[in-house]
């Protein structure tokens, strides 16, 4: 979890760029303006197109507010679609806050299951590479558990299931 504050505002009439000047977003071609602008007018525009959005839209969370003082598991990978050479092996990765795994002197473990199969455990915070994926959709579930194997509660955020697609 990261908290930050943007100071000094910004000039909304200027495009947003990376530190190297690469265009990230432009006020002249924002989704709202593009929807309100006729296509013919937009076609003659000299503005650069908006870069494609990354990520996936998710509905609002049904969980509660995260307690930043309690242990928290944040699922990182796998996500999305894996094709060709990228489809084997596939990495499982995550972030931990306020939790130390058993292999590092703590009391927690990360339990994972693939397609509802046998649960396996990660006791050291490092990426795990899994091989043997078959073409199709798969469900990957990561959970932060205590020494007795019980899910560690933090408003519903310590158990995450994602669907990935594998194409050979």
pLDDT in tens, 118-162: 999 999 988 799 999 999 999 999 999 999 999 999 998 999 999
Q: Is residue 60 one of the residues assigned to a domain? A: no
Based on the structure, what is the number of domains in the chain?
A: 2
Q: Is residue 63 one of the residues assigned to a domain? A: no
157 plus 97 within the same structural domain: yes
* Residue 166, token pair as written in the block: 């594998």
Mean pLDDT of the chain: 80
Q: Is residue 7 one of the residues assigned to a domain? A: no
Strand ranges (DSSP E) for the chain? 16-17, 23-25, 72-77, 80-83, 90-97, 109-114, 120-122, 128-130, 136-145, 159-167
Q: Is residue 147 one of the residues assigned to a domain? A: yes
Cα–Cα distance measured from residue 50 to residue 60, given in angstroms and rounded to the nearest whole number: 25
This prediction has a pTM of: 0.65
Q: Are 53 and 137 in contact (CB under 8 A)?
A: no
The domain in which residue 23 lies consists of 13-52
Cα–Cα distance measured from residue 160 to residue 67, given in angstroms and rounded to the nearest whole number: 17
What's residue 30's pLDDT? 45
Q: Is it the case that residue 6 has pLDDT exceeding 70?
A: no
Residue 4 CA from chain centroid, whole number: 19
Q: 35-41 long-range CB contacts below 8 Å, 24 or more apart?
A: none
Q: Is residue 58 one of the residues assigned to a domain? A: no
What's residue 64's pLDDT? 77
């Amino acid at each position: 979890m990261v908290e930050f504050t943007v100071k000094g505002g910004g000039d909304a009439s200027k495009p947003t760029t990376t530190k190297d000047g690469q265009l990230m977003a432009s006020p002249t071609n924002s989704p709202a303006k593009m929807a309100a602008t006729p296509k013919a007018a937009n076609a003659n525009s000299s503005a650069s197109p908006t870069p494609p959005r990354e990520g996936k839209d998710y509905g609002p969370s049904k969980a509660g507010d995260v307690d930043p003082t309690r242990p928290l598991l944040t699922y990182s990978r796998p996500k999305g679609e894996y094709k060709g050479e990228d489809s084997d092996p596939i990495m499982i990765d995550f972030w931990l806050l306020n939790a130390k795994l058993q292999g590092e002197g703590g009391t927690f473990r990360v339990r994972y299951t693939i397609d509802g199969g046998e649960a396996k455990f990660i006791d050291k915070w490092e990426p795990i590479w899994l091989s043997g994926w078959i073409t199709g959709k798969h469900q990957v579930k990561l959970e932060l558990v205590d020494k007795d194997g019980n899910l560690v509660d933090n408003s519903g955020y310590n158990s995450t299931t994602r669907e990935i697609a594998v194409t050979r």
